[in-house]
Every structure is written in C-alpha cells, then in structure tokens.
Amino acid sequence: MQVKHLIIGAGISGLTFANYCDDYLILEKEPEVGGYCRTIKQNGFVWDYAGHFFHFKTREFKERFVDEVPAEDIIVQEKCTKIYYKGELIDYPFQTNIHQLPKEEFIDCLYDLFNKTEKEEYDHFLDMLYGKFGKSITEKFLKPYNEKLYATDLTALDKNAMGRFFPYADKEAIINNMKASRDTSYNNSFLYPKDGADTFIKILASKLDPARILLNDGLASLDLENRVAVTESGKKIRFEKLINTMPLNLLLPMIGEETLAEELSYNQVLVFNLGFNKKSPLTEEHWLYIPDKTCNYYRIGFYDNILSQDRLSMYIEIGYPRNATITQEEIDRQLQRTLENLQKQGVTDAETKLTDYVSIVMNPAYVHINGNTDRKIKNLFADLAAQGIYSIGRYGGWTYCSMEDCMLEARDLAKSIS
C-alpha cells in the first residue's frame, strides 16, 4: 500500500488535515474517530470524554460547523464559572475577584498585590505567579489549584506554560473589577452542540472517504529512511509525507529519540462522567474550580446546566503524575471520594443518587511546557520537517492549545505541503 500523506490519529487535528488534502490515509488505533473529542450517550445523559467547549475566533471554522447544525441544536452560553473556596462560591478568575473574599483575606491579597516584587524575567511558572500576583493570591488559589491540575512541582513548568490561556490581570484591572465584575478570560462565552462535542467531529469525518480511514489499527513502527510504516495488524504502508497527531512521547521512541521521550513531562487525568436522579442546588454554574488540597478533584462541570436538563449530569477531573498507575481499585476509591466530596460541598444531598457513570483515563492529559525541552522539540521538528515528517496538534506538537488552534495548524500545514 502506498499513499502521499499518511496521517497518524483520527482526532481533530488528523481529520482536519485530511479535509484539506486529496491523497491521504488515516491510521487510528481506536474503533471510532474523534480522539479525546468523542461523546458518550447513556440513558439520556450526554458526556464528552472531558469538558469540550468551543470558542471560535475564526469565521471560517465557526461558519463551517455552525452552518451544518440546526440552530436549535447549538447552545450559546455566557460562561458561569466559580471557585469553591472555603465553603463559598466566588467568581472566576480568583485574582480579579479577591473583593469577594472575607475582609481579612481580601486585605491580605490586596496588600501583597501592591507589595509584590516583579521581575524582567521569571525563572519558572511559580516564580511568575508570585511576581505578578503576590504571596496571598498565589498561595490561596493559583499555586494549589495548578498543582492539582498539573500534578507536578510548578517550578518545573515554563513561565509561559499556559500561554494566552492564563488569565493575567494587572493591579488596575483587579481594582476596576471590584466595581464592575466581569470575566475577561479567553473563553468567557462558548458554543456547545446539544448532542455533544463529537457533533463537530462528525462534520469533519463526513467529508472524508471512509475507505481512507483505518480504524482499530494503530502505528506499530516506523522506518523513516525507507518511508515505511507498519501497523499493529502488520500492514506495511509506504508514504511520501507523514503527519503525526498521536502523543509525541509515543512517536519519539519509534524514530530513535528515546532520550527526549523520557524527558517529556505530562500528567494524567481521571475523568468521571456522572449521572444522577435529580438536579443539584447549583443550577446556573457551568463549571467549578476547587483549589482545596483535601478534595480529590480540581474541576467539576455541569452538563445539565449547559443543556437545560432535569437531572444532574457532571464531569469530574482528578490529576495524577505521569508515572502513576491508575488501577480499577483506585478508580473505585476515587469515585467514592468524589461522591462524598460532592455532598460535603452541597453539590448533591442525601436524596441524590448516582444512576450512571463512565470513567476515562486521559494519558497524557496536560503536557508540561519546559523551556529547555521545548527548544529541543522545536529543533527536532525542524529536522523532521526537512524530511517531510510533521507532528502537530496538542499532543503531537506537545503544546497547550485549543481545539481551534489544532484545526488551524492542520489546515495551514495541509495547504503548505499538499
């Protein structure tokens, strides 16, 4: 078998690339397309693999999806997000809503904000937090929350690890927000299809030839010199150009870069999608952030509030280090802890019963951006591109980006090399 463009992975990046070229073959190890953008429907509940909400910034992709879905099947929401802090809900982002804290804590945050020591260059992510927001804001929310999210020491992350997705705010913005509260983070409004995120994935897939998508057959090995890929089922595929979207830590050992693969850092996330028999008292919130280290999860979301459903439907996210082993026993233990914590926090009550659930382990989940490693990756990518080998997307490119960023990168690459 021979093909011009061999695409590894039928997630959002791989499918988008194929939409912009005419000679391709997609290898996908799973039985269906979508990657982490798949949707589960179970007993009336609609759950994505994790919370996926669309914040289109380009007209091309917004129109491409929205025009193909009936208007009544797309929900447009101004997001309502809160932080569960010491038994109270305060508005997100924390740093621009410190006026909602108890007076003593508010004064601590404000004092530290005005007496912080800023630097021209920060050494790492934690250094940046202290420099830009001061001790109290950092230690009350930013440090514990991000430690739970990334499941790592924040000194190991680059100062710009989250790029534009980090809600920066200067003193003036924080003070002004006390008078007119507003969320100016990148995703303060979003689109969501009623049938789940894979509605948009299906649109991408519908434009492709099903015969050019090999499901249940992942990449087993690569011979770059002879430009031959071998699949898990033993098929040999000759290619002119390779477009990889599977996690970079899996690709690198196949091309002799085991040392760099070991250097890559990331976390895993255990996701629970939970369905209950009745609504929660929290009927407006779309998701909550939980910095409390005694609580197992760092973020929870409410599908039922987004979809206007009459039963509580949630996703729960729990972070783990890269080397953690998440057994079924661990999943069962975390489910029990989750149900207990939801009741403690007033999300559920004694009459709220779990009726359905699905657990998913995302591995990798969030990649850890480190300046030194990032430079090595970029140098490698330049060498590979000269050979017609490209690695793109959140995991293939090993970066922190949105779904639309992945689509834009895939489109631009296809246009430039096809």
Full DSSP string of 163-227 = GGGS----HHHHHHHTTS----STTSEEEEETT-THHHHHHHHHTS-GGGEE-S--EEEEETTTT
pLDDT band of 170, cuts 50, 70, 90: confident
| Backbone dihedral angles phi then psi of residue 78, each to the nearest 5 degrees | -85, 120
Domain spans, the chain: 2-47+196-263+369-417, 93-184
The token duo for 372 is 């030194």
pLDDT of residue 187: 60
pLDDT of residue 62: 84
Residue-wise pLDDT for 4-38, tens only, equals: 999 999 999 999 999 999 899 999 999 999 999 99
Q: Is the peptide bond before 210 cis (omega within 30 degrees of 0)?
A: no
Pick the CATH number of 93-184 from 1.10.1760, 1.10.3110, 1.10.150, 1.10.10: 1.10.3110
Query: pTM to 2 decimals?
Result: 0.94
3-state helix, strand, coil split of the chain in percent (to 5) is 40, 25, 40
Dihedral sign computed on CA atoms, order 383, 385, 387, 393: positive
| Domains 2-47+196-263+369-417 and 93-184 equal at CATH topology level | no
**Contacts of residue 144, Cβ cutoff 8 Å, sequence gap at least 6:** 291, 292, 293
Residues forming beta bridges with residue 3, ordered by sequence position: 239
pLDDT of residue 57: 84
Residue-wise pLDDT for 256-293, tens only, equals: 999 999 999 999 999 999 999 999 999 999 999 999 99
CA distance 326 to 316: 16
Residue 211 identity (one-letter amino acid): A
3-class DSSP state for residue 412?
helix
Q: Mean pLDDT throughout 290-318? A: 97
CATH 3.50.50.60 fits 2-47+196-263+369-417, yes or no: yes
